[in-house]
Amino acid sequence: MRAYEVEKHTETLCKIEERLLNFMKTNEFLKRKSNTEDAQIGDMVLVQDSFKAEIKLPSYVCRGLITGIKKEYGMYYIILLVDHGISIGLTRDKFHILPKNLIPDKYLTKTVGVYNIIPICMRKSTILNGCNTIAVEKILVQSSIDCDILCDITDLRYPKGIHQGWDENIKSSRPRKLQSYIWPAINNGLNVVAIGSTQCGKTSGCVMAVCGQIALRLHEIRNGTQPLALILCASSCEVISVQSLCESFLRTFTNIKCVAAFNGKSDRSVARKALELERNKKVYALCDNVKSFGFCRTRNVCVFRHCVLSEIDAPMTNIQMKMSTSTNVGDICVLEETIDTFKRVQITRIKYDRDYSEDEIFVDVRCIDSGIVHEYINVRKLMHIPKELLDLPTHIVEIFLTNLIPWDEEYMWNHYTNEQVHKWFSENFDERSYIIGEVHLHLGNTIWLDDLKIGTKLIGHHDLIGSSLKKELCHGNYSIVNNNHLSNLFKLCRNSGMTEINGHNLHAADK
């Protein structure tokens, strides 16, 4: 998947196309010198649109990057149009090689991958009644000869010892779906290529057929020095596993020997050699399967690169991906609320709600610049905050009214009270007004006021002090007076060793 930055994309694309058009006026292009060179993977090329062309280009002229060369049906080249994010296949006469550094501008598109997603792979245990018909496992067969489908192991009619070995090891009289198709074809003497997911029965099906055919035709085979069958495996571990399976199937046949042979190289040395070969593919792009899924099942025959090379794959743009590594209460981080909208937040609570999520950790945070509280935020959305942003002062003050308690003497304000407070602000406060209140206590970024009142300036007269929030709540039966509020707070301060706050003696203030 290719993506590009919307801002200035059209403007930059026009400049690149103008340079390409200027190049087409030069002698090098007009004499077709650039159209006679051998094209290699990694070459930058010019592709020109034409009414005769089978492929419609997104622009009249495009620059492209050769990412692959295929020789299956004649020589043709896979070209990625780096400014548009699409790939096309062209023969050599349909493009021109550009001089190096003709257009130094960075590619306007980038490859974007979505991680932790893989195509659905159905297993036998996952097919349930009532499932979607699209998800049902199917077998695709390509053959001009119609072979039967085997439904029972006994229908193979191999010698008794082979079936005994199968029963002792596999313990099933019904073949796997893939086996039910390949066994009749093998018994008919056909060459069979079976492709399937892991644990679908490929290995056991192949070994069973080989052992069965040898045991069935043993009397027809003359004595010789060459092996009757040769099974090639991808690793030494698979060699041991296949040999053990063969010996189990041929246990009753004393005149048939099964030998395991290795190439003399350890798995580590082979792995190092394979990695070295991959590192030599510097001119090839990173495999699309690796980009999409993190692996490539056909890497043994795939021509593209399957390892990351720091000198080639280093980021071309300075995209910051630093997540917050600390998730402790009180930590200050950055939260991206929407795209390109960031907030400084402080973690106020960590939640381990297994009913909400088994694996993820969620937190409650408060924005230190607006006071807004965000609940159930995935910690993966929190990012590291640079020191220069961390040192900036906060712009909010938390305000509490003193000596009030909910009307029902509970210890949590209900939403009706919150709605009434918002209504009071919207009806009484405007651009001509200001809010005043007497501070009784100040701790951190929190202050406790006796009341909030609306003040209005009048030209030539004293300020008009109007509506009171405390009276509004008490008269509306949203709250009642709680005379122990401030005294309890002062007691907590004295117990912590504080004797004064902002020059005011706490003992005198309590009185």
Confidence (pLDDT) at 268: 64
Mean pLDDT of the chain, nearest integer: 81
Highest mean pLDDT: which range of 114-118, 136-140, 183-187, 335-339: 183-187
Output the pLDDT for position 137. 59
- The pair phi, psi for residue 492, each rounded to 5°, is -60, -40
Query: Is 222 or 437 the better-scoring residue by pLDDT?
Result: 437
**323 pLDDT band (50/70/90 cuts)?**
low
Indicate the pLDDT class of residue 277, thresholds 50, 70 and 90: confident
- Average pLDDT estimate for 99-103: 84
pLDDT band at 266 (very low <50, low <70, confident <90, very high): low
The pLDDT value given to residue 122: 44
Q: How confident is the model at residue 210 (pLDDT cuts 50, 70, 90)?
A: very high
For the ranges 378-382, 393-397, 407-411, the maximum mean pLDDT occurs at 378-382
pLDDT for position 207: 93
Half-sphere exposure of residue 271, counting CA atoms within 13 Å on the CB side? 5
Give the per-residue pLDDT at 173: 82
Interatomic CA distance for residues 410 and 433, integer angstroms: 33
Give me the pLDDT at residue 246, please.
92
Exposed (0-12), middle (13-18) or buried (19+): which is 432, by Cβ within 10 Å? Answer: exposed
pLDDT of residue 123: 45
Q: Which two tokens stand for residue 8?
A: 């200035």
**What are the two backbone dihedrals, phi and then psi, of residue 366, each rounded to the nearest 5 degrees?**
-125, 130
The per-residue pLDDT for 497 is 80
Would you state the pLDDT for residue 264?
Answer: 65
The structural domains of the chain, with segments of one domain joined by +, span: 2-111, 153-221+229-250, 268-313, 331-391, 398-505
Please say whether the structural domain 331-391 has been given the CATH code 2.40.440. Answer: no
Q: For residues 33-56, give the mean pLDDT.
A: 76
The pLDDT of residue 120: 52
* Average pLDDT, integer, range 213-242: 82
CA separation for the pair 230, 208 (Å, rounded): 14
How much is the average pLDDT of 347-355? Answer: 77
**Strand, coil or helix: what is 240?**
helix
Q: What share of the chain is helix, strand, coil (3-state, %, to 5)?
A: 30, 20, 50
Four-CA torsion 15, 20, 26, 30, nearest 10 degrees:
-150
Is residue 329 within 8 Å of 343, Cβ to Cβ?
no
Is 85:5 a contact under the CB 8 Å cutoff? no
Give dist(CA 162, CA 248) in Å, integer. Answer: 9
Q: Name the nearest CA neighbour of 282 among 260, 312, 254.
A: 312
pLDDT tens, 31-42?
Answer: 765 566 788 888
Please give the biggest Cα pair distance in the chain.
Answer: 125
pLDDT tops 80 at residue 124: no
Evaluate if residue 149 carries a pLDDT over 80: yes
In one-letter notation, the amino acid at residue 94 is: K
Rounded to an integer, what distance in angstroms lies between the CA atom of residue 510 and that of residue 440? 10
Distance of CA 50 to the CA centre of its chain: 39
Alpha helices in 330-454 (DSSP H): 387-390, 415-428
Residue whose pair of structure tokens reads 């070994």 in the numeric block:
207
Residue 503 vs residue 475, higher pLDDT: 475
Is 70 exceeded by the pLDDT of residue 114? Answer: no
Would you state the pLDDT for residue 237? 81
Structure tokens belonging to residue 484: 């122990």
Spatial distance between the Cα atoms of 502 and 16, rounded to a whole number of angstroms: 64
Residue 433's pLDDT is 86
**Average pLDDT of span 471-496:** 86
Q: Lowest mean pLDDT of 48-52, 64-68, 69-73, 424-428, name the range.
A: 48-52
Report pLDDT for 211. 93
Tally the residues of the chain: 511
* Helices and strands of the chain, counted as H and E runs: 14, 22
- pLDDT confidence band for 295 (50 / 70 / 90): confident
Q: Are 430 and 507 in contact, with CB atoms under 8 Å apart?
A: no
Fold of 2-111: SH3 type barrels. (2.30.30)
pLDDT tens per residue, range 405-461: 888 777 788 888 889 999 998 888 888 888 898 888 888 878 889 999 988 888 888
CB of 400 closer than 8 Å to CB of 448: yes
For residue 185, give the 3-state DSSP assignment: helix
Equal fold, 2-111 vs 331-391:
yes
Q: What is the mean pLDDT of residues 458-484?
A: 86
Q: Would the pLDDT of 250 be above 80?
A: yes
